[in-house]
Structure 1
Amino acid sequence: MLWLLLLIPIVLIGLSIYFERKRKKQPHVNMAKEERAAFEEMYNNEGAGTKSADPKHSKPF
């Protein structure tokens, strides 16, 4: 019965390591770090603050 208590955390740790390695291999995960300036520009141009100042996107109450 003790082996079962040790097996569950070992399996969970193994699964988390597997999925972390799989996530790091995907190119879109590292893209945010490489193109920070592009994302900042998109945020400034298309962010909620810019759209809230536009009368097209706001309703008069």
Structure 2
Amino acid sequence: MSKTTPQKPYTPPSNCYQGIELKPHPGLPAARMYAFRLPSRVGGQLYYPTPSRRVEPFPA
């Protein structure tokens, strides 16, 4: 059997796109990002965002 070495998490090279503008602004209060944690309604179901990613029927 071959031994496997633990893998490091991927970090892109410094000359590649880092996605800095996709992170929340440091001065932005957490309350402004609250809506992104709420479920989305599609038809008769609620879709919750990550990490749970659960799907539940919309309460009538």
TM-score by length of 1: 0.26
TM-score by length of 2: 0.26
Question: Which protein shows a greater Rg?
Answer: 1
Larger relative contact order (C-alpha < 8 A, sep ≥ 6)? 2
Q: Which has the higher helix share?
A: 1
